[in-house]
């Protein structure tokens, strides 16, 4: 997320309400999530308004012409 001032993660585990991530260096953001095993869908929210699918992750259609990132918790 080059140039981002804030990044949040929103998914089906938190009713799509963005939870803040912590900046840890050159365009790296992190969070610790405690999730039960299962398949989850999420996107990142950059600077409070731009919904972004992170690169390098599996995706599925959101049914409205966009994509959702997939997180598989084992």
pLDDT at 26 (0 to 100): 80
pLDDT at 14 (0 to 100): 97
Question: pLDDT means per 10 residues in the chain (74 residues)?
Answer: 90 97 91 97 96 96 97 97
pTM of the shown model: 0.90
pLDDT at 1 (0 to 100): 67
Coil, strand or helix: which one is 55? Answer: coil
The DSSP output letter for 15 is T
Closest by CA position to 70, among listed 34, 32, 38, 42: 42
Burial of 51 (0-12, 13-18, 19+ CB in 10 A): middle
The DSSP output letter for 5 is S
């Amino acid at each position: 997320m080059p140039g981002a001032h804030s990044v949040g993660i929103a998914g089906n585990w938190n009713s799509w309400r963005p939870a803040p991530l912590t900046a840890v260096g050159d365009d790296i953001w992190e969070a610790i999530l405690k999730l039960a095993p299962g398949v989850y869908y999420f996107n990142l929210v950059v600077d409070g308004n731009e919904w972004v699918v992170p690169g390098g992750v599996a995706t599925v259609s959101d049914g409205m012409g966009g994509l959702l990132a997939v997180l598989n918790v084992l």
